[in-house]
Amino acid sequence: MTADRPPSPAPVGPVGLSRRAQRFVEVYGIRLPRPDIRGHRDAWIAQGVPAREADRAAAFQDRWGGLALPPAPFYEGGPRILGARCPKRSAAGGWSFSPGDCRVSMAYGFLIGPDGAFGIDADRWTPLHADTDGWVESLALAAHARRWATSVSRITGKAVDALDLDGYEPVPEVQGLTDTWWRGKDSLIALYRGEAAGLDAPRCLEAHLYAGLDEWGLYGG
């Protein structure tokens, strides 16, 4: 009998992502050992965590646990390694859990909200994307746009609100809430409003404009 081989560090893009995001996960992601948090279920329930919330965290772990992705272009790079923590009561009502530790020391952490949204726990709960798939789609789109754009511009503060989005349409796969992506004729715009909203700090508004994109650059699968 041969010894069991360790799982491959090469992840497979989860079903339901766009092909662009699946490629991003598979090419740039690393799958690290994934703790089985289902073994903690009974202990969590004994501590007062509803069974459905323990199961929700376990489902997140099954889909995303142990996945390390390249840093995001904002929010100091996002979580270092995705992995669910014990659910806790949320200040916004309901239950939330952390999707992973921050890469650096920051004034806020990341949360999966009561409705499954991916966001930040700053001075207030601020959902960024409707779910974690949207967060990963945004990472993939940023990496793709940065590779194919002829120029990348960073816009901050009040100038973000002055951006003219006439002729642009929202990019649906990122499932944007506070943060959104917009697709124009030959450019993409990422709007990062989470820190400004969560910390009540308008100076933290930021937008990235990726210009000079052809059709592949705009969509990329």
Domain ranges of the chain: 19-135, 145-219
Within a 10 A sphere around the Cβ of 46, how many other Cβ atoms? 8
pLDDT at 220: 86
Please state the separation of Cα 26 from the chain's center in Å. 16
* Integer angstrom CA distances of residue 153 from 104, 148, 188, 207, 217: 25, 14, 11, 8, 16
> What tokens does 163 get?
């951006």
Record the tokens describing residue 221, joined without a space. Answer: 């699968």
pLDDT at 3: 41
Average pLDDT on 117-137 reads 97
pLDDT digits (tens, 9 = 90+) for 62-102: 999 999 999 999 999 999 999 999 999 987 679 999 999 99
Give the pLDDT confidence of 150-205 residue by residue, as tens digits.
Answer: 999 999 999 999 999 999 999 999 999 999 999 999 999 999 999 999 999 999 99
What was the pLDDT predicted at 4?
41
Residues 6+ apart with CB under 8 A from 88: 95, 96, 97
Nearest to 64 by CA among 41, 80, 76: 80
Give me the pLDDT at residue 12, please.
Answer: 86
pLDDT for residue 159: 96
Give this prediction's pTM. 0.93
Cα 61 to Cα 73: distance, rounded to the nearest angstrom: 24
Task: Give the separation between CA 58 and CA 46, rounded to whole angstroms.
Answer: 16
What pLDDT is stored for residue 91 in this prediction?
A: 74
Average pLDDT of the chain is: 93
